[in-house]
């Protein structure tokens, strides 16, 4: 079977650190081109300043991975779908729920694959956590997701603009895990968003959810953490406590702790290849819907200005 010819659009940190190595390590794909108006690309790989230049004048491709900021992703995805090209959406899949739903409907209509790629769901501890919790009664959940924005997103102005999500850019990773491992639906009850005076998006947030059985879920997000970073989800159940740490890579159950290799992006690309070969899409909007609910219902609190 011939490899899937894929182009990577947007060559920032996530593309270079994760996407390009994952593609290189998966025989189902071949890197056909890269696209960026600001980056010269990789030696030996066709490079274009825009996706239009590639689609209308470049080598033939079967799929694109969109690693751009979410605010510009809809038009790029729509253009690719129009040309019958499969689309991998880096998280979050879009700047709004409506545009992601529109893309999903368009992909179904033209018969190509659209994949909303929640990478944290592929962390090593997530699948066994989901399986263990399926047979338990959830009593309480605590999420602490704190990191240093200066380390992970230095000088990235787009992330502070409307649609950039602010602290929910990392926080949505936790929500993607939460909505995947809990056996019942989750909804927001209350939220407080801390927004710097000079920014449009929050730098911290405190949220309270509950599931449809009444289990309380508390979430603490902060982008001002220095020193060790915190990416932890703790679930108290009738059979003891489960903890996912290191962003889901480490799973602790009442019987002990499992440390496994980080295979998030290789897992994503295996999933994408399987979806393409099977003629299917995977566009789960639940994590983005919870973020939208936070902006819809959350109280906004002005805090001191933030500068990189």
What's residue 68's pLDDT? Answer: 95
What's residue 111's pLDDT? Answer: 97
- 8 Å CB contact between 21 and 42: no
CB atoms near residue 1 (< 10 Å): 6
Closest CA to 108 of 275, 304, 286: 275
Q: Give the total residue count for the chain.
A: 308
Q: Secondary structure of 145-204 in the HEC alphabet? A: EECEHHHHCCCCHHHHCCCCCCCHHHHHHHHHHHHHHCCCCEEEEEEEEEEECCCCCCCE
Token readout for 65 is 């991975």
Of 13, 82, 91, 243, the active-site residue reads 91
Closest CA to 281 of 1, 93, 37, 18: 93
What's residue 1's pLDDT? Answer: 82
Q: Is 274 exposed, middle or buried (0-12, 13-18, 19+ CB in 10 A)?
A: middle
What's residue 285's pLDDT? Answer: 97
Domain boundary assignment for the chain: 4-116, 122-260+292-303
CA distance 104 to 115: 9
Token readout for 228 is 């060790």
Q: Cβ neighbours of residue 133 under 8 Å, at least 6 residues apart?
A: 181, 182, 183, 235, 237, 242
Half-sphere exposure of 294 (CA within 13 A, CB side): 30
Token readout for 167 is 């602290």
Active site residue 91: yes
Return the CATH class of domain 4-116: alpha beta
Return the biggest CA–CA distance within the chain. Answer: 60
- Residues facing 26 on adjacent strands: none
Reduced to 3 states, what is the DSSP secondary structure of residue 1? Answer: coil
Looking at the whole model, is its pTM more than 0.85?
yes
| 62: phi then psi, degrees, rounded to nearest 5 | -105, -25
CATH dotted code for 122-260+292-303: 3.30.360.10
Q: Spell out the per-residue pLDDT of the chain, length 308, in tens.
A: 899 999 999 999 899 999 999 999 999 999 999 999 988 888 899 999 999 999 999 999 999 999 999 999 999 999 999 999 999 999 999 999 999 999 999 999 999 999 999 999 999 999 999 999 999 999 999 999 999 999 998 888 999 999 999 999 999 999 999 999 999 999 999 999 999 999 999 999 999 999 999 999 999 999 999 999 999 999 999 999 999 999 999 999 998 877 666 789 999 999 999 999 999 999 999 999 999 999 999 999 999 999 98
């Amino acid at each position: 079977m011939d490899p899937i010819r894929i182009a990577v659009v947007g060559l920032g940190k996530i593309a270079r650190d994760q996407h390009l190595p994952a593609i290189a390590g998966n025989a189902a794909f071949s890197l056909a081109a890269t696209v960026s108006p600001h980056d010269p690309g990789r030696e030996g790989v066709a490079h274009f300043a825009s996706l239009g230049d590639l689609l209308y004048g470049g080598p033939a491709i079967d799929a694109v991975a969109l690693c751009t900021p979410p605010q510009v992703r809809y038009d790029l995805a729509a253009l690719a779908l129009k040309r019958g090209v499969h689309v991998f959406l880096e998280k979050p899949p879009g700047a709004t729920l409506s545009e992601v739903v529109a893309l999903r409907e368009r992909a179904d209509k033209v018969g190509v694959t659209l994949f909303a790629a929640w990478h944290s769901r592929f962390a090593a501890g997530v699948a066994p956590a989901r399986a263990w919790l399926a047979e338990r009664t959830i009593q309480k959940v605590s999420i602490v997701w704190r990191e240093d924005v200066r380390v992970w997103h230095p000088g990235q102005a787009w992330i502070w603009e409307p649609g950039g999500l602010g602290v929910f850019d990392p926080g949505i990773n936790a929500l993607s895990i939460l909505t995947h491992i809990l056996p019942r639906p989750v909804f927001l009850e209350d939220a407080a968003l801390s927004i710097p005076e000079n920014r449009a998006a929050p730098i911290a947030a405190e949220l309270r959810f509950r599931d449809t059985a009444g289990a309380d879920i508390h979430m603490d997000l902060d982008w001002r953490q220095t020193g060790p970073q915190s990416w932890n989800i703790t679930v108290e159940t009738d059979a003891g406590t489960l903890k996912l740490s290191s962003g889901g890579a480490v799973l602790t159950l009442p019987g002990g702790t499992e440390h496994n290799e980080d295979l998030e992006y290789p897992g994503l690309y295996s999933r994408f290849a399987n979806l393409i070969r099977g003629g299917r899409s995977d566009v789960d909007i639940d994590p983005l819907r919870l973020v939208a609910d936070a902006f819809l219902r959350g109280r906004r609190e002005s805090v001191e200005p933030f500068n990189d």
